[in-house]
């Protein structure tokens, strides 16, 4: 009787705990991804195909020849023109130019 009673309590409890932690762990992973995506969007860390983010590309390419003006020096439209002009000068790929442009517009 005692064993029967224990089975009635123990197994459902175990099942419940298992389900609870499964859901909790899955939610935590989803939150972390969302946080990363949100941070990426906020920082403009848009990835290009070689894995470098917009801010990394901006640091690496735009600082090689000259000082980098602050992102808030120009409007979104002006940054589009400047990045298009600099793409030729610095031999950037289209994806790199796009990633840099998105970062600058998100940070201005």
Partner 1 sequence: MKYYFFNRCLKLKISRFWVSLICVSLANLVPAITYAETSSKSEYVTRKEYDQLKKELVEIKASLKKEEKQSLDKNDKKIESVPTKELNDSQSKPDSILNRISNLESHAEESKFLDSHMLLAGSASAGYINAENQGSSFTSKFSPIFLWNINDRLLFEGEVELELSDSDTETKLEYAQILYSLNDNLTIGAGKFLSPLNVFVERYEPAWINKLPDTPLAVYDGILPESELGVQARGGVPVLEDMKVLYALYVSNGPSLNVDSDSAGSLNFDNFNDVNNNKAIGGRIGFLLFSNLEVGYGLEESKTNSADGELTGLNAFLQSADCDYSLESSDISGRFNIRGQYAWTEVGDAIYSLPDSGSALEFNNNRNGGYLQISYRPTKIEDLKNWELVSRIDHIKTPTNSPESLDENRYALGVDYWLDSRTLVKAAYDFDDQKNNPSSNILLFQLATGF
Rule CB under 8 A: which residues touch partner 1? 49-51, 60-61, 63-70, 75-78, 80-82, 84-85, 87-96
Measured from the CB atom, the residue of 3 and 67 that comes closer to partner 1 is: 67
> In sequence order, which residues have a C-beta less than 8 Å from that of residue 56 and are 6 or more positions away?
45
Give least dist CB 19 to partner 1, A.
43
Measured from the CB atom, the residue of 43 and 80 that comes closer to partner 1 is: 80
Give least dist CB 40 to partner 1, A.
20
Three-state DSSP class for 35? helix
Nearest to 74, CA basis, from 65, 60, 61, 86: 86
Give least dist CB 38 to partner 1, A.
27
- Note whether 54 and 103 are within 8 A (CB): yes
Measured from the CB atom, the residue of 40 and 74 that comes closer to partner 1 is: 74
Structure-token match 């002009």, residue found:
85
């Amino acid at each position: 009787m005692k064993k029967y009673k224990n089975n009635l309590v123990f197994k459902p409890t175990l099942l419940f705990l298992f389900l609870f932690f499964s859901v909790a762990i899955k939610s935590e992973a989803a939150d972390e991804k969302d946080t990363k995506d949100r941070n990426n969007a906020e920082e403009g860390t848009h990835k290009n195909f070689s894995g470098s983010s917009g801010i990394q590309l901006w640091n690496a390419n735009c600082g090689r020849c000259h000082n980098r003006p602050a992102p808030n020096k120009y409007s979104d439209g002006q940054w589009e023109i400047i990045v298009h002009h600099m793409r030729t000068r610095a031999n950037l790929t289209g994806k790199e130019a796009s990633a840099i442009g998105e970062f600058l517009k998100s940070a201005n």
